[in-house]
Amino acid sequence: MSSGWGWSILPLLIWSLFWKGCALWTAAKNNQRGWFLVLLVLNTVGILEIIYIFYIAKKKWHDVAEIINFNK
């Protein structure tokens, strides 16, 4: 077994973690427990999370930027 797979999958893990965190934060702030549980359990590599944030919760990129901005 080669350890090359670990490094090649790292960007995918970072991508997925970023979107999952933003989606879970949004669902928690909107008090949407059902969506929170679905997003927590299902791993869709960010696809469901992006759909939830921009189409279900109707957030804009500016709203996502506020989630990751720790200065406020």
- Give 23-62 pLDDT, tens digit per residue: 999 999 999 999 999 999 998 999 999 999 999 999 999 8
pLDDT at 6 exceeding the cut of 90: no
pLDDT at 71: 52
pLDDT at 72 exceeding the cut of 80: no
CA 3 to chain centre: 27
Phi/psi zone of residue 42: left (φ > 0), alpha (ψ -120 to 50 degrees), beta? Answer: beta
Report, as an integer, the average pLDDT of 62-71: 79
pLDDT at 35: 95
